[in-house]
Amino acid sequence: MSRICIIGTGYVGMASAIGFAELGHTIVGFDIMPERVADLQRGITPYREAGIEETLAKHLKTGRMRFTANQQEAVRSAQLVLISVGTPALADGSCDLTGLRQCVAALRKCDLTDCAAVVLRSTVPPGTSDDVAKQLENIAEVIYAPEFLREGNAVADFLKPDRTVIGAESITAAVAYATLFEPLQAPIMLTSRRSAELIKGASNAFLALKISFANEIANLCDALGADSLDVLRGVGSDRRIGPAFLMPGIGFGGPCFEKDLKSLERTATRRMVNCELVSGALRVNERQPKRIVEILTAELGSLQGRRIGVWGLAFKAGTDDIRDSLAVRILEDLSERGAIVRAFDPAIRSANLPENCTLVTTALDAADADALLVLTEWPEFREVSPHAIARNLSARLVVDGRNALDIERIVDAGLRYRGVGRTADPVLELEAVS
């Protein structure tokens, strides 16, 4: 069993820490935020994810996990040092590598005698880990090993990977890291550091591309009176295409896709390479939240003074994260148009919302409005009685930006339903456009 130091205790760092502890390794987590370290040491996680607090508590008790705000001490006697610090987007779309640079500068002063490799796991532009290797020349071997973890599902994804990608120039270092993943029995791919960096960027770009494609087809379904769920199910049933990430909605949000695609686009532009599909996926995604508001205005007319109920603020179900959530962008748009918004999200107890937007504590409280907008696909929304919704919804309109509700039950309760590429009566819709 190995002694592993993990630098950075965000989603990726914590999922890796818990995952490796589950596999029997000893983990020391380091973070520059002393308050976060103190919380973690008491078993309090910085974000919501099913099962994560219980597993953390278990490993704090077994002594397999501990946290410190002292990097020198965290790294001392570690056999592997994993870096998973944040690499957020700058205003021009490039990656902010300040945190990573600080971390590497600090590592140069640490005792890395026992360390087989420093493993960079943060998402970075290609070429970054070669730079880190130069910084750590004669101090430690450097590996780039991307993560493919989804927020809300990160520990499960860690323990059940489709593949483990290891970008390394030294076989000994690669083997030291690869050995950790043997019990997971997933294929291990050994590449150069640069290729591994691009595998991460290109994977996120392809997933985002699928979502934008689904949204484009769903918008076409709206115009043609076809049903987007049937169409995309039919498309995804082709094994060469696959059903995953073809769910149309309000667009892809969250801290990864938009940032990573913009960073890839920028890297390509710098090298004078056209990445038109990546740019196209971003453009479709920019328009999609506006499309949801267009559906609302097509039904209601001006939104000035209209009361809009909103279900869901998180960028997807299963998380309390509203970073780069398109639901929040839609709220901003509604607020600018003079709407009065009551928003509910089962995972969010407080948030800084735009003017005239209030956070309420129950789904039905939010539905006390003219129309209801569904912006996150929380499964519990399907459990709310459509008749109870209908009682207070004065314009009797539900715009389901995630195709999350049961269309038949909504219509049976006397409500109008507009989804993304789905309406209550596609045939009538077709007649209306022809």
The residues, any chain, with a CB within 8 Å of residue 42's CB and separated by 6 or more, are none
The minimum distance between CB 184 and ligand UGA, in angstroms, equals 16
Q: What span, in angstroms and rounded, lies between the C-alpha atoms of 164 and 185? A: 10
Q: What span, in angstroms and rounded, lies between the C-alpha atoms of 68 and 317? A: 31
DSSP type of residue 361: S
- Name the closest residue to ligand UGA (Cβ): 247
**Contact positions vs ligand UGA (CB under 6 A):** 123, 147-151, 204, 207, 211, 245-247, 249, 252-254, 256-257, 260, 315-316
Tokens for 113, please give them.
């005698």
Query: Do you know the residue count of the chain?
Result: 434
Pick the closer one to ligand UGA by CB: 18 or 247.
Answer: 247
Q: Kindly give the residue spans of alpha helices, DSSP state H, lying in 190-308.
A: 193-224, 228-236, 257-270, 276-300
Bridge partners for 119 per DSSP = 82, 143
Instruction: Provide DSSP, 129-141.
Output: HHHHHHHTTTT--
The minimum distance between CB 143 and ligand UGA, in angstroms, equals 17
**Hey, is 195 helix, strand or coil?**
helix
Q: Which of 110, 115, 221, 256 is catalytic?
A: 256
Q: What span, in angstroms and rounded, lies between the C-alpha atoms of 4 and 75? A: 8
221 is catalytic: no
Q: What span, in angstroms and rounded, lies between the C-alpha atoms of 129 and 170? A: 13
Instruction: Provide DSSP, 367-417.
Output: TSSSEEEE-S--GGGGGS-HHHHHHH-TT-EEEETTS-S-HHHHHHTT-EE
User: Hey, which residues are catalytic here?
Assistant: 256
